[in-house]
């Protein structure tokens, strides 16, 4: 979902950004700023007395052994290869999502974990035909059309099977839509042409670019429908140059809604500036009855405080265009590997390590909502929650939502992660993961792995989110970061303060 990066990592950054009630332009700007600045208090340095007591030498040796093992372990890669290539895309309600639930549960049972499937009712939406072409525009050559490359947004309503043909109006933001008003919008198709800022993305602020543009994907179709539009299009939220459309979550609007490629958004905007543009749009997805699905929850029981929990997690569902490798097969498998490494090294955490493969992060968050309902009583005993949902690239450290004091207590862990450069603990004012947001809001110290996101939105929610985008050595670093931090939270002397 989204976090700004953190709030907008939500994205899955997607949902988080869109769904967080606390999200506002001002808060976003603030987060953007914090993202841009280094965080000096987190740099590894001489350990204080309290830090040494929390992380005695034997524990530091165990953490070091976990890191070493993870950096030469191919478990996570083998698992994500199976999830993406053998099982495939895992959109909520699909046969493949169900197969993934059964597969991951089976693998975690093989590791010796106590596995439980938590029932979740999820939306079941199935993509159909998706085509469009411009039929009238300034300088139109008689007898031709201009093809538009697009994809339906999740939950989109359908056009008639032979499509609709009408004028398209282009707006750059919600203010422009409002200024047009019902008179100029009713009966037409609105294109939201909000641009994903590539310069920011290149500078390492891709989640800020995402947050700025994704609000139109999330709320644009509904805003257009409210003014009588018969369909809505958004410029794809992403930064590749290969005419790829990016799908994603959109609030139900009751009208067909799609994402056109950045190139096609430019085309329509340019032609619209010269005169009226008419488009023939065909989108025929189907909304089926809600389906039964599951979160996979697997516990490695703690040796001293089994009632206390540390959550390590990623989301198992994906979009349907690609095979869900970086979003978020990678997150699930690095959480699985955290348990695998501990079992392999015969290390038992003091507190229970709980691996969660979340369902339905992309299509509404039903999995995290069900967990919040079923497990709220355990939040007070949950001493930390980690989610990885920003890809599989080199980890720089973690986004954290916890007190500065709690973050400082983690400094000894950073000395372990320092050898591969994962030493940032970046404070976030938003929960650093969509699925752990309720835990975070209730006071559970929350962390999201902070990957280098510069290329993440080249592939995010496109047909190109496939296994080859994962660099095995970088995935191993992510697995090391998850396993080391998960074990540290589970075995440090005192739990992190809330």
Using the contact rule CB under 5 A, the part of the chain among 46-54, 266-274, 302-310, 388-396 near Zn ion is 388-396
Closest-approach residue to Zn ion (CB) = 12
Q: Which of 299, 337, 387, 389 binds Zn ion (CB under 5 A)?
A: 389
According to the binding rule CB under 5 A, does residue 328 interact with Zn ion?
yes
Q: Which residues are known to be catalytic? A: 361
Distances (CA, A) of 472 to 81, 258, 469: 11, 33, 9
Alpha-carbon distance of 8 to 433, in angstroms, equals: 8
From residue 269 to residue 308, the character string flagging contacts with Zn ion as x (rule: CB under 5 A) and all else as - is: ----------------------------------------
Q: Closest Cα to residue 245, out of 128, 145, 152?
A: 152
Distances (CA, A) of 190 to 223, 246, 267, 383: 10, 18, 14, 47
According to the binding rule CB under 5 A, does residue 387 interact with Zn ion?
no
Whether 428 and 9 have beta carbons less than 8 Å apart is answered as no
Q: Which is nearer to Zn ion, 390 or 423 (CB)?
A: 390
Q: Which of 130, 264, 327, 435 binds Zn ion (CB under 5 A)?
A: 327
Distances (CA, A) of 36 to 199, 203, 204, 206, 314: 13, 9, 8, 11, 25
Place of tokens 């700023």: 33
**Where does residue 18 rank: exposed (0-12), middle (13-18), buried (19+ CB within 10 A)?**
buried
- Report DSSP letters for 33-47, one per residue: HHHHS--GGGS--PP
Using the contact rule CB under 5 A, the part of the chain among 2-10, 80-88, 382-390, 405-413 near Zn ion is 382-390
Using the contact rule CB under 5 A, the part of the chain among 4-12, 188-196, 396-404, 445-453 near Zn ion is 4-12
Residues 12-51 that bind Zn ion (CB under 5 A): 12
Please give the sequence-ordered ranges of beta strands (E in DSSP) within 375-470, or none if there are none. Answer: 382-387, 395-401, 424-427, 446-451
Q: Which is nearer to Zn ion, 320 or 328 (CB)?
A: 328
Residues 455-474 that bind Zn ion (CB under 5 A): none
Q: Which is nearer to Zn ion, 62 or 389 (CB)?
A: 389
Alpha-carbon distance of 379 to 400, in angstroms, equals: 17
According to the binding rule CB under 5 A, does residue 451 interact with Zn ion?
no
According to the binding rule CB under 5 A, does residue 363 interact with Zn ion?
no
Using the contact rule CB under 5 A, the part of the chain among 7-15, 56-64, 188-196, 408-416 near Zn ion is 7-15
Q: Which is nearer to Zn ion, 10 or 496 (CB)?
A: 10
Classify 103 as helix, strand or coil: helix
Footprint of Zn ion (CB under 5 A): 12, 327-328, 389
């Amino acid at each position: 979902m989204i976090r700004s990066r953190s709030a907008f990592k939500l994205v899955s950054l997607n949902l988080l950004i869109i769904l967080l009630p606390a999200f506002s332009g001002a808060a976003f700007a603030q987060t953007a700023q914090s993202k841009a600045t280094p965080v000096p208090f987190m740099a590894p340095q001489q350990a204080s007395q309290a830090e040494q007591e929390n992380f005695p030498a034997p524990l530091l040796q165990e953490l070091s052994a976990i890191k070493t093992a993870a950096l030469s372990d191919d478990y996570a890669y083998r698992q994500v290869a199976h999830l993406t290539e053998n099982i495939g895309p895992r959109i909520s309600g699909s046969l493949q999502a169900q197969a993934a639930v059964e597969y991951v549960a089976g693998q975690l049972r093989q590791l010796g974990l106590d596995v439980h499937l938590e029932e979740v009712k999820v939306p079941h939406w199935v993509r159909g035909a998706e085509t469009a072409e411009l039929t009238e525009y300034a300088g139109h050559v008689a007898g031709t059309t201009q093809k538009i490359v697009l994809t339906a947004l999740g939950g989109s309503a359908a056009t008639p099977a032979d499509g609709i043909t009408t004028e398209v109006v282009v707006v750059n933001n919600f203010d422009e839509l409002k200024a047009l008003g019902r008179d100029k919008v009713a009966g037409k198709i609105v294109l939201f042409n909000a641009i994903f800022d590539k310069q920011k993305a290149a500078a390492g602020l891709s989640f800020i670019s995402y947050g700025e543009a994704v609000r139109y994907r999330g709320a644009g179709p509904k805003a257009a429908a409210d003014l009588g539009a018969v369909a809505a299009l958004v410029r794809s939220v992403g930064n590749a140059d290969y005419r790829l459309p990016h799908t994603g979550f959109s609030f139900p609007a009751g009208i067909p809604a799609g994402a056109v490629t950045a190139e096609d958004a430019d085309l329509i905007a340019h032609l619209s500036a010269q005169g009226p543009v008419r488009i023939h749009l065909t989108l025929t997805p189907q909304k089926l009855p809600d389906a039964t699905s599951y979160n996979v929850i697997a516990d490695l029981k703690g040796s001293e405080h089994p009632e206390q929990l540390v959550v390590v997690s990623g989301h198992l569902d994906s979009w349907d265009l690609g095979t869900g490798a970086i979003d978020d097969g990678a997150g699930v498998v690095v959480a699985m590997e955290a348990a695998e490494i501990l079992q392999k090294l015969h290390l038992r955490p003091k507190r229970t390590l709980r691996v969660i493969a979340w369902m339905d992060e992309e299509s509404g968050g039903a999995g995290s909502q069900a967990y919040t309902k079923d497990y709220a009583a355990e939040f007070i005993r949950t001493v930390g929650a980690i989610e990885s949902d920003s890809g599989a690239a080199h980890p720089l450290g973690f986004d954290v939502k916890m007190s500065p004091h709690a973050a400082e207590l983690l400094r000894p862990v950073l000395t372990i992660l320092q050898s591969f450069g994962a030493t940032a603990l970046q404070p976030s004012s938003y929960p650093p993961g969509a699925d752990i947001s309720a835990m975070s809001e209730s006071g559970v110290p929350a962390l999201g792995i902070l990957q280098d996101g510069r290329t993440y939105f080249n592939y995010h929610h496109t047909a190109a989110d496939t296994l080859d985008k994962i660099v095995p050595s970088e995935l191993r670093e992510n697995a090391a970061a998850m396993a080391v931090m998960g074990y540290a939270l589970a075995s440090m002397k005192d739990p992190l303060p809330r």
